[in-house]
Amino acid sequence: MNSLPENATIVEVEGTGKYYIRVDRGGVSFFFDPGDKNITELIADTTGLKDPMALSQLAKDNTETIDELSFEQQFLDDDFLVFVGDYDSANENWTDILNNVKNITERETWWGNKEFRDEYIRVYELATDDDGVFDRTTFFENLKTNDTIGTSLGTNRAFFNRTVDERLDPDQYGMDLDTYVGSVQAIAIEAGVPLEDIKDNTELNDSLKLVANNLNNGVYGDPNTKAAVSKASQQVIALVNPAFRKANGGIYTLDNDILKASKGMSTVSITTKHNEVEELLNQFLPQSMWGDIDVSKEASKLQMEPNYKYELQEKLKDKRFAQFNMYDRDISWSTILNNKKGSIKAAWGIDVKWDNPVLNDIISMNDTTKEGEYLRGKGMELGIDKVKNDFALASASAYGDGVIKSQNFLEN
């Protein structure tokens, strides 16, 4: 490259020895700080030229000199000055720089809005005290709540606020993204996608990361809200299971950016949620009450919204409690059932099935004293071997005293 790219200029701040790379785009001037490079080094680095005479001429033709006061005054001009970051010559070239600015102007469209820039300047001035000391934290926090800025953005407020969060604490912003990547992958797994598919399917993995990035960026709203997480979940469901897309008769719209990222994605094998619904039924509801539950319908809901399982749990708890309110609502049915099966096993020496009427009787009693007497009497009536043998042993023991206390066997 024998010249600087279009819209790119090297700016010398007179009397300071400082140079900046400036890229003008969309009425905004974006500045990169090249660090300690002098102008010759900077031009050589950004153009690839080595000839001293050519470098000298290029420096003369493509460098603007501005005094320090005028440089600072640009904060108050329409052609607003924005510091984008440091220019690292080891990693970046002019193409990267211009692409970076292009991404900023495309993503942060509000920079082209004069009303936004004017209010930005006012908030900046309010965060600067009489001695000229700028309070960076106050400035960014005020940006996030300023109503005038909110109406001039042309985009959702959450998206803007997350760009502010990124500038305020980029390390935390990056950690948030890592967290959301894990959360989105967990949603996919909950939706029935095998972990191996997430690891091995490049397009799927990239698409899930884009959903996480959108969630972190505030594209779906404040990422701390249930609505934003629900939107991300819907994108994941529509991504991994095309049957749920509106285009295929489903209920969710897969956003264009996710659709584009998933282009060429191989078919994802998804396990149904029928087994998971049945596990919840076993845990929270008597099998005699399963007839009122549409397992396929509940499985479909669970596949569309993995977190629906918590709502289903509460629904099943309420249904069980309405009939068996002698037990605490939050005690699982499986715990109640296994305890009472254990009581019958101890008294009779045999296992009974869930539909045994004696099991239902002692569950309804919820009284260990009464159930013991009931099981011994019922066992004798039904001719249960262990009950008859225990009775014989009790009788033989009592016979040694000359008294057969058969009534006590049934009552103790």
Separation CA 377–CA 390 (nearest Å): 12
**Contact status, residue 250 vs residue 270, Cβ threshold 8 Å:** no
Question: Where on the phi/psi map is residue 377: left (φ > 0), alpha (ψ -120 to 50), or beta?
Answer: alpha
**Contact status, residue 238 vs residue 207, Cβ threshold 8 Å:** no
**Contact status, residue 405 vs residue 396, Cβ threshold 8 Å:** no
Is the pTM higher than 0.75? The answer reads no
- How many Å separate Cα 63 from the centre of its chain? 47
pLDDT in tens, the chain (412 residues): 455 666 778 888 888 878 777 777 655 667 777 767 777 777 777 677 788 888 888 777 778 888 877 776 664 454 455 555 555 544 455 556 556 666 666 777 787 777 887 888 788 888 888 887 778 788 888 888 888 887 777 778 899 999 888 877 888 999 999 999 999 999 998 888 888 888 889 999 999 999 999 999 999 999 999 999 999 999 999 998 887 888 888 889 999 999 999 999 887 777 778 888 999 999 999 998 998 898 877 887 887 777 889 999 999 999 999 999 999 999 999 999 999 999 999 989 899 898 899 999 999 999 888 988 899 888 888 988 888 888 788 777 655 554 445 455 555 5
Residue type, 112: G
| CA atoms within 13 Å, Cβ hemisphere of 64 | 15
**Three-state DSSP string of the chain:** CCCCCCCEEEEEEECCCEEEEEEEECCEEEEEECCCCCHHHHHHHHHCCCCHHHHHHHHHHHEEEEEHHHHHHHHHCCCEEEEEEECCCCCCCHHHHHHHHHHHHHHCHHHHCHHHHHHHHHHHHHCECCCCCECHHHHHHHHHHCHHHHHHCCCCHHHHHHHHHHHHCHHHHHHHHHHHHHHHHHHHHHCCCCHHHHHHCHHHHHHHHHHHHHHHHCCCCCCCCHHHHHHHHHHHHHHHCHHHEHHHCCCECCCHHHHHHCCCCCCCCCCCCHHHHHHHHHHHCCHHHHHHCCHHHHHHHHHHCCCHHHHHHHHHHHHHHHHCCCCCCCCCHHHHHHHHHHHHHHHHCCCCCCCCHHHHHHHHHCCHHHHHHHHHHHHHHHCCHHHHHHHHHHHHHHHCCCCCCHHHHHHC
